[in-house]
Amino acid sequence: MIANLNEGDYVNVNGSVVSSGWLYADDVRVSPGAYVPGADSVFFTGVPSAINERAGTAQFGAVSVDLTALSRVGADNLWVVSGTQPNPKGVVVAN
């Protein structure tokens, strides 16, 4: 399945947390619709590999998340993040 993915495909991935910054994709499915950057929601669960409270950002592997719109950021190991990604491969803006 992964070999058939193309850049720009809109996918749903369900997986397991292995450790900080490491996730295992149990199921990957290509969505029938096209992804619209900045309009469609981005949702994922993971363990941050780095947190910069001063800058209001968190890193989840290669994904950067802007947390400045949130009133509180928890210190839990497992995070649930939702927001938008205005630019493909860009920063996810949490909401």
Split at pLDDT 50, 70, 90, the class of 83 is: very high
Give Cα 73 to chain centroid, integer Å.
16
Tell me the one-letter amino acid at 62.
A
pLDDT of residue 72: 65
The pLDDT tens digits for 43-71 are 887 788 888 888 999 998 889 999 888 76
Q: What is the domain partition of the chain in residue ranges?
A: 2-94
Average pLDDT in the chain? 83
Comparing C-alpha atoms, which of 53, 58, 55 is closest to residue 80? 58
The pLDDT tens digits for 13-25 are 888 877 765 778 8
Is the pLDDT at 91 greater than 90? The verdict is yes
